[in-house]
Structure 1
Amino acid sequence: MPAPGPGGLAPVFQKGATRDKTVALTFDADMTADQGNRAENGEAFDNPDLIDTLRDLEVPATVFMTGRWADQYPDEARDIGEDPLFEVGNHSYSHYSFTRSCYGLPVLPEKQLRPDVERAFTAIRKAGVPHVMPYFRFPGGCYDDRALRAIGPLGVTVVQWDVVSGDTFATDASRVARQVLEGVRSGSVVVMHCTRSAAPVTEEAVRAVVPELRKQGYRFVKVSELIGAAGRRR
Protein backbone atom coordinates (compact mmCIF):
# COMPACT_ATOMS: atom_id res chain seq x y z
CA MET A 1 0.00 0.00 0.00
CA PRO A 2 1.17 3.55 -0.62
CA ALA A 3 2.49 5.47 2.34
CA PRO A 4 0.72 8.66 3.39
CA GLY A 5 2.10 11.77 1.74
CA PRO A 6 3.52 14.87 3.41
CA GLY A 7 1.75 15.69 6.64
CA GLY A 8 0.16 12.24 6.75
CA LEU A 9 -2.24 13.08 3.92
CA ALA A 10 -3.49 10.33 1.61
CA PRO A 11 -2.05 10.78 -1.92
CA VAL A 12 -4.41 11.93 -4.67
CA PHE A 13 -4.38 10.62 -8.26
CA GLN A 14 -6.33 12.49 -10.95
CA LYS A 15 -5.04 11.33 -14.33
CA GLY A 16 -2.14 9.49 -15.88
CA ALA A 17 0.85 11.57 -16.97
CA THR A 18 1.35 9.63 -20.18
CA ARG A 19 1.45 10.22 -23.90
CA ASP A 20 0.03 6.78 -24.51
CA LYS A 21 -3.56 6.88 -25.71
CA THR A 22 -5.00 5.15 -22.67
CA VAL A 23 -8.19 6.01 -20.82
CA ALA A 24 -9.77 4.60 -17.67
CA LEU A 25 -13.55 4.43 -17.39
CA THR A 26 -14.63 4.47 -13.75
CA PHE A 27 -18.12 3.85 -12.41
CA ASP A 28 -19.42 4.89 -9.00
CA ALA A 29 -21.90 2.41 -7.49
CA ASP A 30 -23.61 4.93 -5.24
CA MET A 31 -26.05 4.27 -2.44
CA THR A 32 -26.30 6.29 0.73
CA ALA A 33 -26.77 4.68 4.12
CA ASP A 34 -30.35 5.96 4.44
CA GLN A 35 -31.70 4.76 1.08
CA GLY A 36 -32.68 1.25 2.13
CA ASN A 37 -36.41 2.05 2.12
CA ARG A 38 -36.18 3.39 -1.40
CA ALA A 39 -34.46 0.20 -2.55
CA GLU A 40 -37.12 -1.93 -0.83
CA ASN A 41 -39.77 0.07 -2.69
CA GLY A 42 -38.22 -0.81 -6.03
CA GLU A 43 -35.75 1.98 -6.77
CA ALA A 44 -32.81 0.51 -8.69
CA PHE A 45 -29.40 1.54 -7.42
CA ASP A 46 -27.63 -1.08 -9.56
CA ASN A 47 -27.18 -1.36 -13.34
CA PRO A 48 -26.52 -4.95 -14.47
CA ASP A 49 -27.09 -4.03 -18.13
CA LEU A 50 -24.16 -1.63 -17.94
CA ILE A 51 -21.88 -4.33 -16.55
CA ASP A 52 -23.04 -6.72 -19.30
CA THR A 53 -22.30 -4.07 -21.93
CA LEU A 54 -18.77 -3.54 -20.62
CA ARG A 55 -18.27 -7.30 -20.88
CA ASP A 56 -19.75 -7.44 -24.38
CA LEU A 57 -17.43 -4.65 -25.49
CA GLU A 58 -14.48 -6.13 -23.56
CA VAL A 59 -13.83 -2.87 -21.74
CA PRO A 60 -11.85 -3.08 -18.48
CA ALA A 61 -13.12 -0.69 -15.84
CA THR A 62 -12.78 0.33 -12.21
CA VAL A 63 -15.92 0.30 -10.06
CA PHE A 64 -15.96 2.42 -6.90
CA MET A 65 -18.46 0.75 -4.62
CA THR A 66 -20.11 2.05 -1.47
CA GLY A 67 -20.39 -0.44 1.35
CA ARG A 68 -24.14 0.21 1.50
CA TRP A 69 -24.40 -0.75 -2.20
CA ALA A 70 -22.47 -3.96 -1.54
CA ASP A 71 -24.83 -4.75 1.33
CA GLN A 72 -27.82 -4.23 -0.95
CA TYR A 73 -26.44 -6.10 -3.97
CA PRO A 74 -23.97 -8.69 -2.65
CA ASP A 75 -24.35 -11.08 -5.59
CA GLU A 76 -23.66 -8.31 -8.09
CA ALA A 77 -20.76 -7.01 -6.02
CA ARG A 78 -19.20 -10.48 -5.95
CA ASP A 79 -19.86 -10.98 -9.68
CA ILE A 80 -18.05 -7.74 -10.51
CA GLY A 81 -15.23 -8.43 -8.07
CA GLU A 82 -14.57 -11.93 -9.39
CA ASP A 83 -14.37 -10.80 -13.03
CA PRO A 84 -10.76 -10.04 -14.07
CA LEU A 85 -12.10 -7.42 -16.47
CA PHE A 86 -12.92 -5.21 -13.50
CA GLU A 87 -11.35 -3.95 -10.30
CA VAL A 88 -13.19 -2.65 -7.25
CA GLY A 89 -12.32 0.40 -5.18
CA ASN A 90 -13.83 1.90 -2.03
CA HIS A 91 -16.39 4.72 -2.30
CA SER A 92 -17.12 5.00 1.47
CA TYR A 93 -19.80 3.08 3.33
CA SER A 94 -22.43 5.76 3.70
CA HIS A 95 -21.85 8.03 0.69
CA TYR A 96 -22.10 10.92 3.14
CA SER A 97 -19.87 13.93 2.64
CA PHE A 98 -16.35 14.01 4.06
CA THR A 99 -16.36 17.80 3.94
CA ARG A 100 -18.72 20.40 5.35
CA SER A 101 -20.45 21.09 2.04
CA CYS A 102 -20.83 18.70 -0.89
CA TYR A 103 -23.87 18.77 -3.17
CA GLY A 104 -26.26 18.62 -0.24
CA LEU A 105 -25.02 15.25 1.05
CA PRO A 106 -25.34 14.56 4.78
CA VAL A 107 -22.03 15.31 6.50
CA LEU A 108 -20.02 12.76 8.48
CA PRO A 109 -18.55 13.88 11.81
CA GLU A 110 -14.76 14.05 11.68
CA LYS A 111 -14.37 11.11 14.04
CA GLN A 112 -16.38 8.94 11.62
CA LEU A 113 -14.33 9.59 8.47
CA ARG A 114 -11.81 6.80 8.86
CA PRO A 115 -14.29 4.28 10.37
CA ASP A 116 -16.65 4.87 7.43
CA VAL A 117 -13.93 3.88 4.95
CA GLU A 118 -12.96 0.87 7.06
CA ARG A 119 -16.61 -0.20 7.26
CA ALA A 120 -16.86 -0.05 3.47
CA PHE A 121 -13.85 -2.33 3.02
CA THR A 122 -15.47 -4.78 5.43
CA ALA A 123 -18.84 -4.70 3.65
CA ILE A 124 -17.35 -5.14 0.18
CA ARG A 125 -15.24 -8.08 1.30
CA LYS A 126 -18.23 -9.59 3.13
CA ALA A 127 -20.19 -9.44 -0.15
CA GLY A 128 -17.55 -11.73 -1.66
CA VAL A 129 -15.25 -9.39 -3.54
CA PRO A 130 -11.95 -11.30 -3.27
CA HIS A 131 -9.62 -8.34 -3.68
CA VAL A 132 -10.52 -4.72 -3.03
CA MET A 133 -7.97 -2.30 -4.44
CA PRO A 134 -6.42 0.22 -2.00
CA TYR A 135 -8.18 3.04 -3.84
CA PHE A 136 -10.71 5.44 -2.37
CA ARG A 137 -13.06 7.90 -4.06
CA PHE A 138 -14.69 10.56 -1.92
CA PRO A 139 -18.48 10.91 -2.23
CA GLY A 140 -19.09 13.74 -4.64
CA GLY A 141 -15.32 13.99 -5.13
CA CYS A 142 -15.30 16.44 -2.22
CA TYR A 143 -12.31 16.49 0.11
CA ASP A 144 -9.97 18.74 2.05
CA ASP A 145 -6.75 18.26 3.98
CA ARG A 146 -8.70 17.28 7.09
CA ALA A 147 -10.31 14.38 5.19
CA LEU A 148 -7.05 13.35 3.53
CA ARG A 149 -5.32 13.29 6.91
CA ALA A 150 -8.11 11.23 8.48
CA ILE A 151 -7.79 8.42 5.93
CA GLY A 152 -4.02 8.69 5.43
CA PRO A 153 -3.22 5.87 7.91
CA LEU A 154 -5.34 3.45 5.82
CA GLY A 155 -2.75 3.49 3.05
CA VAL A 156 -5.24 4.29 0.30
CA THR A 157 -4.74 6.36 -2.83
CA VAL A 158 -7.56 8.81 -3.49
CA VAL A 159 -8.72 8.54 -7.11
CA GLN A 160 -10.30 11.60 -8.67
CA TRP A 161 -10.87 12.24 -12.39
CA ASP A 162 -10.25 14.77 -15.15
CA VAL A 163 -13.33 14.02 -17.29
CA VAL A 164 -16.84 14.48 -15.90
CA SER A 165 -19.32 12.51 -18.00
CA GLY A 166 -22.36 14.43 -16.77
CA ASP A 167 -24.37 11.21 -16.64
CA THR A 168 -25.95 11.90 -13.25
CA PHE A 169 -29.69 12.46 -13.82
CA ALA A 170 -29.03 12.89 -17.55
CA THR A 171 -31.74 11.94 -20.03
CA ASP A 172 -29.81 12.42 -23.28
CA ALA A 173 -27.21 9.69 -23.85
CA SER A 174 -25.76 11.44 -26.89
CA ARG A 175 -25.00 14.52 -24.82
CA VAL A 176 -23.21 12.43 -22.18
CA ALA A 177 -21.21 10.65 -24.88
CA ARG A 178 -20.27 13.94 -26.51
CA GLN A 179 -19.08 15.39 -23.22
CA VAL A 180 -16.84 12.37 -22.62
CA LEU A 181 -15.44 12.36 -26.16
CA GLU A 182 -14.67 16.07 -26.01
CA GLY A 183 -12.89 15.73 -22.66
CA VAL A 184 -10.75 12.62 -23.04
CA ARG A 185 -6.99 13.02 -23.39
CA SER A 186 -4.14 10.54 -22.99
CA GLY A 187 -4.23 9.15 -19.45
CA SER A 188 -7.72 10.44 -18.69
CA VAL A 189 -9.88 9.11 -15.87
CA VAL A 190 -13.59 9.38 -16.69
CA VAL A 191 -16.19 9.41 -13.91
CA MET A 192 -19.53 7.75 -14.66
CA HIS A 193 -22.13 5.99 -12.53
CA CYS A 194 -23.47 2.47 -12.12
CA THR A 195 -26.88 3.42 -10.72
CA ARG A 196 -29.99 3.13 -12.90
CA SER A 197 -32.15 5.49 -10.84
CA ALA A 198 -29.59 8.30 -10.83
CA ALA A 199 -27.86 7.67 -14.17
CA PRO A 200 -30.36 6.02 -16.52
CA VAL A 201 -28.59 6.65 -19.85
CA THR A 202 -25.04 5.61 -18.91
CA GLU A 203 -25.18 2.21 -20.62
CA GLU A 204 -26.36 3.78 -23.86
CA ALA A 205 -23.66 6.44 -23.65
CA VAL A 206 -20.96 3.80 -23.14
CA ARG A 207 -22.08 2.03 -26.29
CA ALA A 208 -21.43 5.25 -28.20
CA VAL A 209 -18.19 6.25 -26.46
CA VAL A 210 -16.26 2.98 -26.65
CA PRO A 211 -16.17 2.41 -30.43
CA GLU A 212 -15.45 6.07 -31.11
CA LEU A 213 -12.50 6.23 -28.72
CA ARG A 214 -11.15 2.97 -30.14
CA LYS A 215 -11.44 4.45 -33.60
CA GLN A 216 -9.31 7.35 -32.33
CA GLY A 217 -6.66 4.89 -31.16
CA TYR A 218 -7.44 4.83 -27.44
CA ARG A 219 -6.98 1.73 -25.30
CA PHE A 220 -9.14 1.18 -22.23
CA VAL A 221 -7.36 0.34 -18.98
CA LYS A 222 -8.12 0.04 -15.29
CA VAL A 223 -7.04 2.81 -12.93
CA SER A 224 -4.37 0.50 -11.54
CA GLU A 225 -2.56 0.51 -14.89
CA LEU A 226 -2.44 4.31 -14.95
CA ILE A 227 -1.24 4.45 -11.35
CA GLY A 228 1.31 1.74 -12.02
CA ALA A 229 2.64 3.60 -15.05
CA ALA A 230 2.95 6.75 -12.95
CA GLY A 231 4.96 4.84 -10.34
CA ARG A 232 7.33 3.40 -12.94
CA ARG A 233 8.20 6.87 -14.20
CA ARG A 234 9.35 8.11 -10.80
Structure 2
Amino acid sequence: MIIPVRRFVATCALGALGVALAACGTPGTPHAARPGHPASASGSANAQPPRPPTLAPGSSGITPVFTNGPRTKDKIVSLTFDADMTANEGTRAAAGEHFDNPELIATLRAFKVPATLFMTGRWADEYPKEAKDIGQDPLFEVANHSYSHYAFTDNCYGLPIVPQERMRAEVEEAYTAFKKAGVPHAMPYFRFPGGCYDQQALRTLSAVGVTAVQWDVVSGDAFATDADAVARQVLEGVKPGSVVVMHCTRSAAPVTEQALRTIVPELRKKGFRFVKVSEMIGSATQGERHGTT
Protein backbone atom coordinates (compact mmCIF):
# COMPACT_ATOMS: atom_id res chain seq x y z
CA MET A 1 0.00 0.00 0.00
CA ILE A 2 2.21 2.79 -1.28
CA ILE A 3 0.80 6.21 -0.44
CA PRO A 4 2.53 9.57 -0.19
CA VAL A 5 2.11 11.19 3.21
CA ARG A 6 0.41 14.25 1.77
CA ARG A 7 -2.44 12.10 0.54
CA PHE A 8 -3.17 10.14 3.72
CA VAL A 9 -6.93 9.69 3.30
CA ALA A 10 -9.16 6.64 3.71
CA THR A 11 -12.53 6.88 2.08
CA CYS A 12 -14.44 5.60 5.09
CA ALA A 13 -12.95 8.22 7.39
CA LEU A 14 -11.87 11.57 6.07
CA GLY A 15 -9.47 13.39 8.32
CA ALA A 16 -8.15 11.45 11.27
CA LEU A 17 -8.50 7.74 10.76
CA GLY A 18 -9.07 7.34 14.47
CA VAL A 19 -12.79 7.79 13.86
CA ALA A 20 -12.82 4.66 11.72
CA LEU A 21 -12.76 2.42 14.77
CA ALA A 22 -15.88 4.03 16.16
CA ALA A 23 -17.64 4.43 12.84
CA CYS A 24 -16.94 1.06 11.27
CA GLY A 25 -16.50 -1.38 14.14
CA THR A 26 -15.75 -1.49 17.83
CA PRO A 27 -13.49 -3.80 19.79
CA GLY A 28 -15.13 -7.00 20.90
CA THR A 29 -14.36 -10.56 21.72
CA PRO A 30 -12.53 -12.72 19.18
CA HIS A 31 -15.10 -14.10 16.79
CA ALA A 32 -13.81 -15.31 13.45
CA ALA A 33 -11.79 -18.33 12.44
CA ARG A 34 -8.68 -17.62 10.45
CA PRO A 35 -9.62 -17.46 6.75
CA GLY A 36 -8.99 -20.82 5.17
CA HIS A 37 -8.44 -22.44 8.57
CA PRO A 38 -11.78 -23.34 10.19
CA ALA A 39 -11.54 -23.95 13.91
CA SER A 40 -11.36 -27.65 14.79
CA ALA A 41 -13.22 -29.31 17.61
CA SER A 42 -11.52 -29.20 20.99
CA GLY A 43 -9.14 -32.09 21.45
CA SER A 44 -9.00 -33.00 17.79
CA ALA A 45 -5.67 -34.34 16.56
CA ASN A 46 -5.91 -31.88 13.67
CA ALA A 47 -6.70 -28.85 15.82
CA GLN A 48 -5.45 -25.55 14.46
CA PRO A 49 -3.41 -23.10 16.56
CA PRO A 50 -5.49 -20.78 18.75
CA ARG A 51 -7.46 -18.27 16.72
CA PRO A 52 -5.87 -14.82 16.68
CA PRO A 53 -7.95 -11.98 18.13
CA THR A 54 -10.26 -10.08 15.81
CA LEU A 55 -12.77 -7.30 16.30
CA ALA A 56 -16.48 -7.98 16.50
CA PRO A 57 -18.36 -7.07 13.32
CA GLY A 58 -19.94 -3.66 13.11
CA SER A 59 -23.62 -2.95 12.54
CA SER A 60 -25.34 -5.44 10.22
CA GLY A 61 -22.23 -7.62 10.37
CA ILE A 62 -20.06 -5.12 8.51
CA THR A 63 -16.30 -5.71 8.44
CA PRO A 64 -14.73 -4.05 11.50
CA VAL A 65 -11.86 -1.59 11.14
CA PHE A 66 -8.94 -1.35 13.56
CA THR A 67 -6.87 1.84 13.61
CA ASN A 68 -4.94 1.83 16.89
CA GLY A 69 -4.77 0.12 20.25
CA PRO A 70 -5.62 1.46 23.70
CA ARG A 71 -3.99 4.71 24.84
CA THR A 72 -2.86 3.29 28.17
CA LYS A 73 0.29 3.42 30.26
CA ASP A 74 1.34 0.18 28.59
CA LYS A 75 3.41 1.82 25.85
CA ILE A 76 3.05 -0.62 22.99
CA VAL A 77 3.45 0.15 19.30
CA SER A 78 3.01 -1.94 16.15
CA LEU A 79 5.29 -1.46 13.17
CA THR A 80 3.52 -2.73 10.05
CA PHE A 81 5.08 -3.12 6.63
CA ASP A 82 3.22 -3.39 3.34
CA ALA A 83 4.89 -5.84 0.97
CA ASP A 84 3.42 -4.29 -2.16
CA MET A 85 3.41 -5.65 -5.64
CA THR A 86 0.63 -4.84 -8.07
CA ALA A 87 -0.46 -7.57 -10.47
CA ASN A 88 0.61 -5.57 -13.54
CA GLU A 89 4.19 -5.01 -12.30
CA GLY A 90 5.57 -8.37 -13.35
CA THR A 91 7.48 -6.97 -16.31
CA ARG A 92 9.18 -4.46 -14.03
CA ALA A 93 10.24 -7.24 -11.67
CA ALA A 94 11.52 -9.26 -14.62
CA ALA A 95 13.56 -6.24 -15.68
CA GLY A 96 15.26 -6.11 -12.29
CA GLU A 97 13.10 -3.86 -10.13
CA HIS A 98 13.09 -5.03 -6.51
CA PHE A 99 9.75 -5.14 -4.72
CA ASP A 100 11.24 -6.99 -1.76
CA ASN A 101 13.60 -5.74 0.95
CA PRO A 102 15.70 -8.49 2.59
CA GLU A 103 17.86 -5.95 4.41
CA LEU A 104 14.83 -4.52 6.17
CA ILE A 105 13.79 -7.99 7.36
CA ALA A 106 17.37 -8.63 8.52
CA THR A 107 17.38 -5.37 10.48
CA LEU A 108 14.10 -6.22 12.21
CA ARG A 109 15.62 -9.55 13.19
CA ALA A 110 18.84 -7.94 14.39
CA PHE A 111 16.85 -5.56 16.59
CA LYS A 112 14.44 -8.36 17.61
CA VAL A 113 11.41 -6.30 16.59
CA PRO A 114 8.13 -8.18 16.16
CA ALA A 115 6.27 -6.90 13.12
CA THR A 116 3.26 -7.54 10.91
CA LEU A 117 3.71 -7.67 7.14
CA PHE A 118 0.69 -6.97 4.96
CA MET A 119 1.56 -8.92 1.87
CA THR A 120 -0.07 -9.03 -1.54
CA GLY A 121 -0.60 -12.41 -3.14
CA ARG A 122 1.29 -11.19 -6.18
CA TRP A 123 4.29 -10.40 -3.95
CA ALA A 124 4.17 -13.91 -2.49
CA ASP A 125 4.07 -15.35 -6.01
CA GLU A 126 7.11 -13.29 -7.01
CA TYR A 127 9.11 -13.97 -3.82
CA PRO A 128 7.87 -17.33 -2.49
CA LYS A 129 11.06 -18.18 -0.60
CA GLU A 130 11.02 -14.83 1.19
CA ALA A 131 7.30 -15.12 1.91
CA LYS A 132 7.86 -18.57 3.43
CA ASP A 133 10.87 -17.38 5.43
CA ILE A 134 8.90 -14.46 6.87
CA GLY A 135 5.77 -16.51 7.46
CA GLN A 136 7.61 -19.23 9.37
CA ASP A 137 9.54 -16.83 11.60
CA PRO A 138 7.75 -16.39 14.96
CA LEU A 139 9.04 -12.83 15.11
CA PHE A 140 6.66 -11.90 12.27
CA GLU A 141 3.12 -12.45 11.15
CA VAL A 142 1.77 -12.26 7.62
CA ALA A 143 -1.53 -10.50 6.92
CA ASN A 144 -3.51 -9.87 3.75
CA HIS A 145 -3.08 -6.88 1.42
CA SER A 146 -5.19 -8.34 -1.44
CA TYR A 147 -3.89 -10.41 -4.32
CA SER A 148 -3.48 -7.74 -7.01
CA HIS A 149 -3.06 -4.53 -4.97
CA TYR A 150 -5.92 -3.00 -6.93
CA ALA A 151 -8.14 -0.40 -5.27
CA PHE A 152 -11.44 -1.23 -3.58
CA THR A 153 -12.79 2.29 -4.26
CA ASP A 154 -12.60 4.86 -7.04
CA ASN A 155 -9.89 7.53 -7.08
CA CYS A 156 -7.31 5.70 -5.00
CA TYR A 157 -3.89 7.04 -5.99
CA GLY A 158 -4.28 5.91 -9.58
CA LEU A 159 -4.57 2.20 -8.76
CA PRO A 160 -6.68 0.00 -11.05
CA ILE A 161 -10.08 -0.71 -9.51
CA VAL A 162 -11.42 -4.05 -8.31
CA PRO A 163 -15.06 -4.63 -9.36
CA GLN A 164 -17.33 -5.32 -6.41
CA GLU A 165 -17.93 -8.89 -7.53
CA ARG A 166 -14.15 -9.53 -7.38
CA MET A 167 -13.45 -8.04 -3.95
CA ARG A 168 -13.92 -11.19 -1.93
CA ALA A 169 -11.88 -13.21 -4.43
CA GLU A 170 -9.01 -10.71 -4.10
CA VAL A 171 -8.74 -11.53 -0.41
CA GLU A 172 -9.22 -15.26 -0.78
CA GLU A 173 -6.74 -15.57 -3.66
CA ALA A 174 -4.10 -13.83 -1.57
CA TYR A 175 -4.54 -16.41 1.18
CA THR A 176 -4.20 -19.13 -1.47
CA ALA A 177 -0.94 -17.56 -2.67
CA PHE A 178 0.40 -17.45 0.90
CA LYS A 179 -0.42 -21.12 1.42
CA LYS A 180 1.23 -22.03 -1.90
CA ALA A 181 4.38 -20.15 -0.88
CA GLY A 182 4.55 -22.03 2.42
CA VAL A 183 3.17 -19.45 4.85
CA PRO A 184 1.54 -21.72 7.43
CA HIS A 185 -0.85 -19.45 9.28
CA ALA A 186 -1.65 -16.13 7.63
CA MET A 187 -3.58 -13.84 9.93
CA PRO A 188 -7.25 -12.81 9.53
CA TYR A 189 -6.29 -9.17 9.03
CA PHE A 190 -6.73 -7.21 5.81
CA ARG A 191 -5.31 -3.87 4.71
CA PHE A 192 -6.99 -2.14 1.80
CA PRO A 193 -4.63 -1.17 -1.04
CA GLY A 194 -3.97 2.54 -0.75
CA GLY A 195 -5.85 2.48 2.54
CA CYS A 196 -8.98 3.27 0.50
CA TYR A 197 -12.30 1.74 1.45
CA ASP A 198 -15.96 2.60 1.76
CA GLN A 199 -19.07 1.06 3.26
CA GLN A 200 -19.69 -1.04 0.16
CA ALA A 201 -16.24 -2.62 0.41
CA LEU A 202 -16.70 -3.28 4.12
CA ARG A 203 -20.06 -4.94 3.52
CA THR A 204 -18.71 -7.02 0.64
CA LEU A 205 -15.83 -8.41 2.71
CA SER A 206 -17.95 -9.20 5.76
CA ALA A 207 -18.31 -12.85 4.71
CA VAL A 208 -14.54 -13.35 4.66
CA GLY A 209 -14.25 -12.91 8.43
CA VAL A 210 -11.32 -10.49 8.48
CA THR A 211 -10.62 -7.39 10.53
CA ALA A 212 -9.55 -4.45 8.36
CA VAL A 213 -6.39 -2.87 9.76
CA GLN A 214 -5.56 0.77 9.12
CA TRP A 215 -3.09 2.93 11.12
CA ASP A 216 -2.76 6.15 13.06
CA VAL A 217 0.85 7.01 12.12
CA VAL A 218 2.04 7.47 8.53
CA SER A 219 5.79 7.01 8.22
CA GLY A 220 6.06 8.94 4.97
CA ASP A 221 8.53 6.37 3.67
CA ALA A 222 6.78 5.92 0.32
CA PHE A 223 9.11 7.38 -2.33
CA ALA A 224 11.11 9.14 0.39
CA THR A 225 14.82 9.81 -0.03
CA ASP A 226 15.54 11.24 3.44
CA ALA A 227 15.72 8.54 6.12
CA ASP A 228 16.04 11.11 8.89
CA ALA A 229 12.78 12.76 7.83
CA VAL A 230 11.00 9.41 7.86
CA ALA A 231 12.35 8.60 11.32
CA ARG A 232 11.40 12.03 12.63
CA GLN A 233 7.85 11.74 11.33
CA VAL A 234 7.38 8.37 13.03
CA LEU A 235 8.93 9.45 16.32
CA GLU A 236 6.80 12.59 16.45
CA GLY A 237 3.61 10.68 15.68
CA VAL A 238 3.80 7.58 17.85
CA LYS A 239 1.60 7.35 20.95
CA PRO A 240 0.79 4.37 23.15
CA GLY A 241 -1.22 1.95 21.03
CA SER A 242 -0.06 3.35 17.69
CA VAL A 243 -0.03 1.36 14.46
CA VAL A 244 2.64 2.66 12.09
CA VAL A 245 2.36 2.06 8.35
CA MET A 246 5.66 1.51 6.51
CA HIS A 247 6.74 -0.44 3.43
CA CYS A 248 8.86 -3.47 2.62
CA THR A 249 9.52 -2.52 -0.99
CA ARG A 250 13.04 -1.49 -1.98
CA SER A 251 12.16 0.32 -5.19
CA ALA A 252 9.34 2.44 -3.78
CA ALA A 253 10.57 2.88 -0.20
CA PRO A 254 14.36 2.86 -0.42
CA VAL A 255 15.21 4.48 2.93
CA THR A 256 12.91 2.54 5.27
CA GLU A 257 15.59 0.16 6.52
CA GLN A 258 17.90 3.07 7.31
CA ALA A 259 15.12 4.91 9.12
CA LEU A 260 14.45 1.85 11.28
CA ARG A 261 17.96 2.09 12.67
CA THR A 262 16.91 5.37 14.29
CA ILE A 263 13.25 4.61 15.00
CA VAL A 264 13.72 1.40 16.96
CA PRO A 265 16.31 2.50 19.54
CA GLU A 266 14.67 5.89 20.02
CA LEU A 267 11.24 4.39 20.73
CA ARG A 268 12.81 1.92 23.12
CA LYS A 269 14.50 4.78 24.93
CA LYS A 270 11.04 6.30 25.36
CA GLY A 271 9.82 3.09 26.96
CA PHE A 272 7.88 1.66 24.01
CA ARG A 273 7.56 -2.06 23.44
CA PHE A 274 7.06 -3.43 19.92
CA VAL A 275 4.19 -5.87 19.33
CA LYS A 276 2.55 -7.49 16.35
CA VAL A 277 -0.91 -6.38 15.28
CA SER A 278 -2.42 -9.53 16.79
CA GLU A 279 -1.18 -8.53 20.24
CA MET A 280 -2.34 -4.95 19.71
CA ILE A 281 -5.84 -6.11 18.79
CA GLY A 282 -5.77 -8.50 21.72
CA SER A 283 -4.97 -5.59 24.03
CA ALA A 284 -7.87 -3.62 22.56
CA THR A 285 -10.39 -6.43 22.98
CA GLN A 286 -9.20 -7.16 26.51
CA GLY A 287 -9.40 -3.48 27.40
CA GLU A 288 -12.94 -3.30 26.01
CA ARG A 289 -14.02 -6.22 28.16
CA HIS A 290 -12.52 -4.59 31.25
CA GLY A 291 -13.52 -1.02 30.41
CA THR A 292 -9.94 0.28 30.23
CA THR A 293 -9.69 1.52 26.64
| TM-score after normalising by structure 1 | 0.99
The question of whether the paired residues in 2 share the 8 Å contact of 1:168 and 1:199 is answered with: yes
Tell me the matched-pair count. 234
The structure 2 residue matched to 1:179, chosen from 233, 241, 250, is 233
Aligned ranges 1:114-153 → 2 under 5 Å: 114-153=168-207
Residue 14 (1) aligns with residue 34 (2): no
Structure 2: unaligned runs, 5 residues or longer: 1-31, 33-53
Larger Rg, first or second structure (1 or 2): 2
Q: Is the CA contact (8 Å cut-off) linking 2:121 and 2:177 kept in structure 1?
A: yes
Shift of 1:124: 0.9
What is the SS of the residue equivalent to 1:76?
helix
| Contact kept? 1:92, 1:120, Cα under 8 Å | yes
> Which residue identity does 1:91 align to in structure 2?
H
Match in the other structure for 2:58: 5
Q: Shift in Å at residue 51 of structure 1?
A: 0.1
Report the Cα offset of residue 32 of structure 1.
0.3
Q: TM-score, normalised by structure 2?
A: 0.79
- Which of 103, 113, 119 lines up with 1:59 in the alignment? 113
SS where residue 101 of structure 1 aligns?
A: coil
For 1:131 and 1:204, locate their aligned partners in 2 and report how far apart those are by CA, in whole Å: 29
Letter in 2 for 1:117: V
In the alignment, the residues of structure 2 paired with residue 116 and residue 21 of structure 1 have an alpha-carbon distance, to the nearest angstrom, of 35
Question: Which segments of structure 1 move beyond 2 Å, counting only runs of 4 or more?
Answer: 2-5
Q: Name the residue aligned to 1:78.
A: 132
Distance 2:267 2:61 in 1: 38
Structure 1, unaligned runs of 5 or more: none
- Aligned twin of 2:212: 158
CA contact (8 A) 2:117 2:142 kept: yes
Partner of 2:223: 169
Distance 1:159 1:76 in 2: 23
> How far is 1:158 from its partner?
0.4
Q: Deviations over 1:113-151 (max 9, x none)?
A: 111111001101110001000000000100000000111
Give 2:92's aligned residue.
38
Where 2:188 maps in the other structure, the secondary structure is strand
Conserved 8 A contact 2:71-2:239: no
RMSD: 0.8
